[in-house]
Structure 1
């Protein structure tokens, strides 16, 4: 059997707010299907969907997105005003650089080069 990823779904408290953060970062038009479900179709990427759940985020994500950018430090600076949070410092090695971030609801992602 061969399967294809249709969408990546984030559990969250505010689907409408979180979809706007990710649409601003990756592109695409945010869509609020209901008060409990929003999504965005970023160019050249799978749909990201956001569903309201009653519980808050309690631990580190077991899965995260690596978002390729020209300069992780500058990209981090650019999204801080959108509610993102920088986690630790910029890491650079022979493979490139990355900056760990959290979106407005605490979901980890990384800005990466390389």
Structure 2
């Protein structure tokens, strides 16, 4: 099927665009570029653009999903083929300010771990496999 358009950006609302862009730059690479005081762009090494937009009165999504809302959107990151890779990535994102939301006690049951970024958006570190 022919496409209608090409995905340009994934945009996350947040209270501090530059701080959140720096967080994701440490996770996925790239350098944040302030295009406007309320808009920061992070071009990832693979060419995808994550953008961060100032949202006055920002309220983070609830996780797990609340009855009255949803998580809106979340990002999945491949951490590597082995749980040791995910363990190492987990330590790094926690040191950057992420918050653990879900970690299965039985790693065979799930291939991902769920975190919240510093602004509260859920994201996953996934085991490639």
- Common fold: TM-score over 0.5: yes
Once residues 27 and 95 of structure 2 are traced to their aligned partners in structure 1, the CA distance between those partners, rounded to angstroms, is 12
Structure in which a larger fraction of residues adopt strand: 1
Gaps of 5+ in 2: 63-70
Q: Is the 8 A contact 1:72 1:97 kept in 2?
A: no
Gaps of 5+ in 1: none
Please point out which of 73, 76, 81 is paired with 1:66: 76
Give the deviation of 1:45 after TM superposition.
4.3
Alignment match, 2:98? 84
Which ranges of 4 or more aligned residues in structure 1 deviate by more than 6 Å? none
Alignment match, 1:53? 55
Once residues 97 and 60 of structure 2 are traced to their aligned partners in structure 1, the CA distance between those partners, rounded to angstroms, is 18
Please point out which of 3, 9, 28 is paired with 1:7: 9
Q: Is the 8 A contact 1:73 1:99 kept in 2?
A: no
Alignment match, 2:68? none
**SS at 2:107's partner residue?**
strand
Once residues 14 and 4 of structure 2 are traced to their aligned partners in structure 1, the CA distance between those partners, rounded to angstroms, is 30
**SS at 2:111's partner residue?**
strand
RMSD between aligned alpha carbons? 1.7
Once residues 61 and 40 of structure 2 are traced to their aligned partners in structure 1, the CA distance between those partners, rounded to angstroms, is 23
TM-score by length of 2: 0.79
Once residues 35 and 84 of structure 1 are traced to their aligned partners in structure 2, the CA distance between those partners, rounded to angstroms, is 24
Please identify the structure whose Cα radius of gyration is greater.
Answer: 2
